[in-house]
Copies of this chain bind each other. A is one copy, B any other.
Amino acid sequence: MATAPRTQQVIDGIRSRIAARLLCAGDRLPSVRQSAARFGVSPATVVEAYDRLVADGVIQAVPRSGFFVSHLASAPAGPAANAPRRDHAIDPFWVSRQSLDESGAVAMPGCGWLPADWMPQAALQRGLREAMRDPANLLHYGSTAGDPALRRQIALRFAGEGLVCDPDRILLTASGSAAADLICRLLLRPGDTVLLDDPCYFNYQALVAAHAARAVSVPFGPSGPDPAVFAAVVAAERPRLYLTNSGVHNPTGGALALPTAHRLPGLAAAHGMVIVEDDIFADFAPGRPTMAALDGLSGVIRIGSFSKTISAAVRCGYIAARPEWIDALADLQLATGFGGPSPLASAAIGHVLGQGAYRRHMEQLRRKLDRARRHSAQALASLGLTVSGADGAGFTLWCRLPAGLDSAALAQRCLAHGVILAPGNVFSPSQSAAPFLRWNVAQTSPAALDALAKAMAAESAG
């Protein structure tokens, strides 16, 4: 928005009076009429200038009193206030904080999302513009279960993988994270035990802790947990929930072997454990077996979202489960959030999914990621890392460092150069993944590889 010259003249005049301390914090500005006379402009121009100064935080409007110089006018503004807290210890939140609050990071191979230009930006903008036309999408709370059209589209996606699910058994949520959280609210009590994979999506650990529950874990190999080990852990620990990924496992890139996917729901049911299968990465590897489809949503709850494939800003998650759980979850969502996703988000996502743009985008994206995975795997191997998942799916590789190197130490060194890594132990409930890194192949760059190489050399030397 360009500012008209006369408006800018008033803005500059007021700003310079503040800078010169002719107007101080708390002082009342001249009235609109007085300023109009003083600057030789129309009252409308002064109103516009004052509005811009309010927007910039220089002055503030006090109803029925006028405009005042802000107490914050001289405070530092902008990103500095939001800089990452670099002194935090490396805990499960470490990667989130660093990558969400980065400002001017050189590279983020540790982050868990794709760069903006790998996302279906134009289709999403079209979807939002289309959705915005309906005042209900723009202004109102959504319905308690969420947009019926989008729930229907999700049911169709499920049908494509062999999971028959009536749209009434789907609840839309604010996000995939919110979906997992709602289920924890419904099914967990403080002190309950939750089974996680080792390694697993780091935020599951934080979620379990937020519910005052106890995490236990089962090793997750290239084809999932070993069913015998899984059975032994479940029998010994009696977890209430098992939180895991379908499709591409985060962070290893692995996937459940079909016999394992077939076996785990029965083992869970035998011990009263509910499986929560998070399919947020499923569209990166369509056709992989899901426990939800094999189990038919009896003791398995399917959750997911579009944050990794459409947008992490326009969020909408979902839960597919037994009808009585869906009803209870909808009530909980109403009690704690007064609803789920923005109707603007669910309508926009519906447009993206519905126009065929999504299917074409994902086909292209999978090909692009295949190339990026191979290229990154070669580059990392040439630095001495042992890479698994290069011929898999998704956008991350699970890499073992050369003997003796600790990924947390490398992450701290790289952070000092603006490169954010994801050290293995943030994903490991048992803290047994210190020699590993999760690497985002869409964020590979010479700067990232160079920082890693230098950090490895420095750690090896010292």
Contacts and interface: CB of A to CB of B under 8 A. Distances in A.
A116 B133 CA distance: 12
Which of A50, A77, A138 has the most B CB atoms < 10 Å from its CB?
Answer: A138
Given A178-B337, A338-B177, A72 B344 contact: no
Interface string A31-61: 0000000000000000110110011110011
22 contacts: A55-B353, A56-B354, A61-B359, A62-B160, A72-B159, A93-B335, A100-B142, A100-B144, A100-B334, A101-B143, A116-B139, A116-B140, A121-B139, A129-B129, A138-B314, A141-B307, A174-B337, A175-B338, A177-B337, A206-B334, A313-B342, A314-B342
A382 interface: no
A63 interface: yes
Contact of A81 (B138, B139, B167, B335): B167
A316 to B, nearest CB: 10
Contact of A57 (B78, B129, B153, B363): B153
A185 B159 contact: no
Contacts of A77: 148-149, 152
B138 A125 contact: yes
A168 interface: yes
A423 to B, nearest CB: 18
Interface string A71-101: 1100101110110000000000100110011
Contact of A335 (B71, B175, B206, B335): B206
A55 B156 CA distance: 10
3 tightest Cβ-Cβ pairs between the two chains A and B: A51-B356, A55-B354, A206-B335
A332 interface: yes
Interface string A292-317: 00000000000000010001111100
Interface string A158-198: 01100010111000001101100100010001100000000
Contact of A313 (B62, B174, B344): B344
A138 B124 contact: yes
Contact of A141 (B149, B178, B313): B313
A128 B345 CA distance: 12
A251 to B, nearest CB: 15
B70 A159 contact: yes
A339 interface: yes
A210 interface: yes
Contacts of A335: 93, 203, 206-207, 209-210
A141 B344 contact: no
A266 interface: no
Given A100-B144, A128-B132, A336-B177, A139 B312 contact: yes
Given A210-B336, A313-B342, A332-B210, A354 B54 contact: yes
A322 to B, nearest CB: 17
A116 B145 contact: no
A178 to B, nearest CB: 5
B344 A93 contact: no
Nearest to A211: B336
A313 to B, nearest CB: 5
B50 A356 contact: yes
A226 interface: no
Nearest to A354: B55
A354 to B, nearest CB: 3
A295 B277 CA distance: 46
A137 interface: yes
A21 interface: no
Nearest to A363: B63
A345 B128 CA distance: 12
Contacts of A153: 55, 57
A446 interface: no
Interface string A113-132: 10011010100110011101
A364 interface: no
Contact of A343 (B62, B72, B313): B313
A108 to B, nearest CB: 11
A299 to B, nearest CB: 23
A445 interface: no
Contact of A144 (B54, B97, B286, B359): B97
Which of A168, A334, A354 has the most B CB atoms < 10 Å from its CB?
Answer: A334
